[in-house]
């Protein structure tokens, strides 16, 4: 057997896993699919293996250079007119035709195993050092990697524990290719080929539909529009029950065609399909073939908000009064609530100590005073630091910061490799681009993580306009006030004619210095 030694060429092209992963289209990938020789072993069909291998090659941005499929179980026993694919694969490896071999799984069956051992020995000999097996990259020169490959070949658990079990075979095949399956996600529609009926794409369902409210009022909506509206409201702090009421009041049917329920809205706002992700058994397993309906920022803000343990879903959604139960009595510590008063010619509404009537203040005046003070505080130029200082130890923030630091170190390593000529300028440029994007993302996450979701987009220069825009959304305003301030009402004192003012409130901000002045 004539063997050309191509070791030098392969090792020069890509010397490490990192350079291979950053190599993009320069990397030539050969893939090999093989039907199991053992009928009892429930491996994946060669078709599914092929799809999964292609998905892996695409995910890494490599160039698919050749493919070999051994489908015929009896090929080894009968003389065939064609040379077995296995032989062609061995020839291609010998000729140095690729930089990485992509296979989906390595059989436990002894006869199949012998085949892989042969391929592996040849690869080692010619310097084809990289194997991508089931999405994991191995370097045959690394003794740990060789051991892991060995484990795969002999351990039954490997197949049993992995998602690659037989039941899910078809689903995983489609999932890996990013294709949707099952019921169409509300907000999307699927476009099929008119003749073959094959799925061509999944896209936002922007069809304009009409809804008739109970009072006969007709309005227009689209499924995609409803999804976006739900995310906008959730991230804006609107309680689920308010969103539910609003959709039902407009007569818009739910995904099941009935009335909306909170649970359905919540599930939608937590569904990663809306940022274009493919989910299997509750886990994101990759990018779908469709585009997101909402931004990733919006999605993750919704997730944070809905999974915030301090948010109670049973809370009354429509609090009519801005400050009931938020402002407390400075004397007895009890809550205040609305009290209608008609005495000595004055008719109006008060916030009044609920239990003992120790203190009271006119509702309209207190509402206005508190809102002014809160908006002035939210408008402060240093509000970012004030809000994030307190939560600097927050796990999210520290994690994001650590990640950004680690990525910066990676980038430095790349720079050194590029300077010493160990990686090509093209590889470096590619790696740098990817790393910089990731660093920026983690920095942004670290900066935002300390800001409670309900305050995002409502602080600093945006505070005044954002508050005005909230209008009658009392529930959101209450969330904000409760979050930032602790307010107690002080009795006016008998015969005191001083107009309502700062002296009537014992006010503490929950962020920053404890005794900040209330500017109002
Ligand atoms: Zn009281």
Q: For residue range 135-159, list pLDDT tens digits in order.
A: 788 888 887 777 777 666 554 334 4
pLDDT at 6: 42
Burial readout 407-418 (b: 16 or more C-beta within 10 A, e: otherwise): beebbeebeebb
pLDDT at 481: 94
Distance 309 CA to ligand 1 centre (A): 30
From the number of C-beta atoms within 10 Å of its C-beta (0-12, 13-18, 19+), residue 312 rates as: exposed
Is the residue at 89 inside a domain?
Answer: yes
Q: Residue 108: how many CA atoms within 13 Å on its side-chain side? A: 15
Distance 473 CA to ligand 1 centre (A): 28
Please give the residue that has the higher pLDDT: either 495 or 41: 495
User: SS3 letters for 384-431?
Assistant: HHHHHHCCCCCHHHHHHHHHHHHHHHHHHHHHHHHHCCCCCHHHHHHH
Distance 40 CA to ligand 1 centre (A): 77
Answer whether residue 88 shows pLDDT above 80: yes
For residue 428, give the nearest of 18, 7, 1, 5 by alpha carbon: 18
Task: For the chain, give the mean pLDDT.
Answer: 78
Distance 352 CA to ligand 1 centre (A): 8
370-386 mean pLDDT: 88
Same domain, 60 and 140: yes
Distance 499 CA to ligand 1 centre (A): 21
Distance 507 CA to ligand 1 centre (A): 16
Same domain, 290 and 259: yes
Same domain, 127 and 199: no
Distance 491 CA to ligand 1 centre (A): 9
pLDDT at 176: 55
Q: 335 pairs with which residues across the strands?
A: 328
Give dist(CA 350, CA 344) in Å, integer: 15
Same domain, 143 and 202: no
- Model confidence at 418, in pLDDT bands (50, 70, 90)? confident
Same domain, 422 and 357: no
Distance 328 CA to ligand 1 centre (A): 8
Is the residue at 316 inside a domain?
Answer: no
3-state secondary structure of 76: coil
Please give the residue that has the higher pLDDT: either 394 or 314: 394
Calculate the CA 385 to chain-centre distance.
Answer: 26
288-305 mean pLDDT: 84
3-state secondary structure of 67: strand
- Model confidence at 449, in pLDDT bands (50, 70, 90)? low
For residue 130, give the nearest of 141, 118, 144 by alpha carbon: 141
Distance 258 CA to ligand 1 centre (A): 46
Distance 489 CA to ligand 1 centre (A): 9
Calculate the CA 143 to chain-centre distance.
Answer: 36
360-362, strands of its sheet edge to edge: 336-343, 346-353, 360-362
229-245 mean pLDDT: 89
pLDDT at 200: 83
Same domain, 81 and 150: yes
Distance 284 CA to ligand 1 centre (A): 52
pLDDT at 216: 87
Whole-number percent of the chain with pLDDT over 70: 78
Give dist(CA 429, CA 410) in Å, integer: 13
Top-confidence range, 149-163, 245-259, 289-303, 306-320: 245-259
Distance 213 CA to ligand 1 centre (A): 44
Distance 360 CA to ligand 1 centre (A): 9
Give dist(CA 241, CA 262) in Å, integer: 6
- Model confidence at 78, in pLDDT bands (50, 70, 90)? very low
pLDDT at 285: 66
pLDDT at 160: 40
For residue 511, give the nearest of 394, 412, 415, 386 by alpha carbon: 386
Distance 333 CA to ligand 1 centre (A): 6
Q: Helices (H), strands (E): how many in the chain?
A: 18, 17
Same domain, 82 and 150: yes
Q: 64 pairs with which residues across the strands?
A: 29
Distance 329 CA to ligand 1 centre (A): 5
pLDDT at 253: 94
Is the residue at 315 inside a domain?
Answer: no
120-134 mean pLDDT: 87
Distance 487 CA to ligand 1 centre (A): 13
- Site of tokens 């003070």: 373
The CA angle 402-403-404, to the nearest 5 degrees, is 90
Task: Please count the structural domains in the chain.
Answer: 4
Is the residue at 274 inside a domain?
Answer: yes
Structure token digits, residue 10: 């392969």
Distance 494 CA to ligand 1 centre (A): 15
pLDDT at 47: 76
- Model confidence at 260, in pLDDT bands (50, 70, 90)? very high
Same domain, 200 and 170: no
Is the residue at 314 inside a domain?
Answer: no
Please give the residue that has the higher pLDDT: either 481 or 431: 481
Same domain, 136 and 53: yes
Distance 485 CA to ligand 1 centre (A): 19
- Tens-place pLDDT, residues 175-216: 555 677 778 899 999 988 888 777 788 899 999 999 998 888
Same domain, 106 and 241: no
The CA angle 137-139-142, to the nearest 5 degrees, is 130
- Model confidence at 404, in pLDDT bands (50, 70, 90)? confident
pLDDT at 281: 59
335-351 mean pLDDT: 85
Is the residue at 323 inside a domain?
Answer: no
Burial readout 445-472 (b: 16 or more C-beta within 10 A, e: otherwise): bbebbbbbbbbbbbbeeebeebbeebee
For residue 188, give the nearest of 299, 296, 55, 288 by alpha carbon: 288
Structure token digits, residue 33: 């699919």
Strand 346-353 versus strand 360-362 pairing type: antiparallel
Q: How many residues does the chain have?
A: 520
Distance 318 CA to ligand 1 centre (A): 25
**Helical spans, DSSP H, in 203-362:** 223-235, 240-249, 262-269, 296-306
Whole-number percent of the chain with pLDDT over 90: 22
What is the extent of the structural domain holding 254?
188-306
pLDDT at 112: 66
pLDDT at 158: 42
Flag the least confident range among 108-112, 208-212, 228-232.
Answer: 108-112
99-115 mean pLDDT: 75
Q: What is the dihedral of CA 129, 131, 135, 138, to 10 degrees?
A: -50
pLDDT at 230: 96
Structure token digits, residue 432: 């740098």
For residues 17 and 139, the answer to whether their CB atoms sit within 8 Å is yes
Is the residue at 318 inside a domain?
Answer: no
pLDDT at 110: 58
Distance 356 CA to ligand 1 centre (A): 5
Give dist(CA 360, CA 352) in Å, integer: 4
Flag the least confident range among 171-175, 344-348, 405-409, 504-508.
Answer: 171-175
pLDDT at 10: 43
Q: 254 pairs with which residues across the strands?
A: none
The enclosing domain of 56 has a CATH number of: 3.40.50.1390
For residues 381 and 502, the answer to whether their CB atoms sit within 8 Å is no
Flag the least confident range among 59-73, 109-123, 284-298, 345-359.
Answer: 109-123
Which of 176, 205, 225 marks a domain boundary? Answer: 176
Is the residue at 100 inside a domain?
Answer: yes
Distance 376 CA to ligand 1 centre (A): 28
Distance 490 CA to ligand 1 centre (A): 9
Same domain, 340 and 204: no
Same domain, 362 and 261: no
Distance 369 CA to ligand 1 centre (A): 20
Distance 355 CA to ligand 1 centre (A): 6
pLDDT at 165: 44
Q: 188 pairs with which residues across the strands?
A: 204
């Amino acid at each position: 057997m004539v063997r050309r030694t191509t070791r030098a060429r392969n090792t020069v092209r890509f010397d490490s896993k990192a350079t291979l992963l950053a190599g993009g289209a320069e990397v030539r990938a050969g893939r090999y699919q093989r039907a199991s020789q053992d009928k009892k072993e429930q491996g994946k069909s060669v078709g599914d293996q092929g799809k999964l291998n292609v998905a892996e090659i695409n995910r890494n941005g490599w160039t698919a250079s050749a493919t070999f499929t051994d489908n015929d179980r009896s090929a080894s026993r009968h003389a065939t007119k064609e040379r077995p694919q296995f032989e062609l694969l061995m020839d291609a490896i010998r000729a140095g035709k690729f930089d990485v071999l992509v296979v989906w799984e390595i059989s436990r069956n002894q006869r199949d195993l012998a085949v892989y051992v042969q391929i592996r020995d040849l690869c080692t000999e010619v310097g084809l050092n990289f194997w991508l097996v089931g999405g994991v990259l191995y370097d045959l020169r690394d003794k740990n990697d060789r051991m892991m490959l060995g484990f795969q070949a002999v351990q039954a658990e490997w197949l049993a524990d992995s998602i690659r079990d037989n039941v899910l075979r078809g689903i995983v095949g489609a999932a890996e290719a990013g294709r949707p399956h099952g019921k169409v996600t509300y907000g999307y529609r699927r476009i099929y080929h008119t003749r073959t009926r094959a799925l061509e794409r999944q896209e936002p369902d922007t069809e304009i539909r009409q809804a008739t409210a109970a009072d006969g009022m007709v309005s227009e909506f689209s499924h995609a529009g409803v999804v976006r509206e739900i995310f906008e409201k959730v991230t804006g702090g609107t309680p689920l029950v308010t969103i539910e009421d609003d959709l039902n009041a407009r007569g818009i049917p739910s995904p099941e065609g009935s009335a909306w329920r909170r649970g359905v809205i919540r599930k939608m706002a937590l569904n990663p399909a809306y940022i274009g992700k493919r989910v299997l058994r509750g886990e994101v397993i990759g990018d779908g073939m469709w585009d997101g309906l909402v931004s990733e920022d919006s999605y993750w803000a919704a997730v944070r908000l809905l999974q915030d343990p301090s948010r109670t879903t049973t809370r009354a959604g429509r609090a009519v009064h801005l400050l009931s139960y938020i402002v407390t009595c400075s004397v007895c510590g009890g809550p205040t609530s609305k009290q209608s008063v008609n005495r000595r010619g004055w008719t109006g509404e008060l916030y009044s100590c609920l239990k003992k009537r120790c203190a009271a203040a006119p509702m309209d005046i207190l509402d206005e005073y508190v809102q002014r003070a809160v908006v002035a505080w939210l408008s402060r130029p240093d509000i970012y630091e004030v809000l994030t200082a307190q939560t600097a130890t927050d796990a999210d923030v520290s994690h994001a910061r650590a990640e950004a630091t680690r990525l910066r170190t990676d980038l430095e390593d790349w720079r050194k490799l590029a300077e010493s000529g160990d990686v090509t300028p093209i590889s470096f440029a590619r790696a740098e681009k990817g790393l910089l994007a990731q660093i920026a993302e983690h920095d942004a996450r670290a900066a935002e993580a300390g800001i409670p979701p309900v305050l995002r987009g409502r602080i600093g220069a945006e505070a005044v306009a954002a508050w005005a825009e909230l209008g009658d959304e009392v529930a959101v305003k209450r969330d904000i006030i409760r979050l930032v301030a602790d307010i107690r009402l002080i009795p006016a004192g008998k015969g005191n004619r001083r107009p309502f003012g700062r002296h009537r409130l014992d006010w503490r901000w929950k962020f920053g210095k404890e005794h900040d002045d209330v500017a109002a």
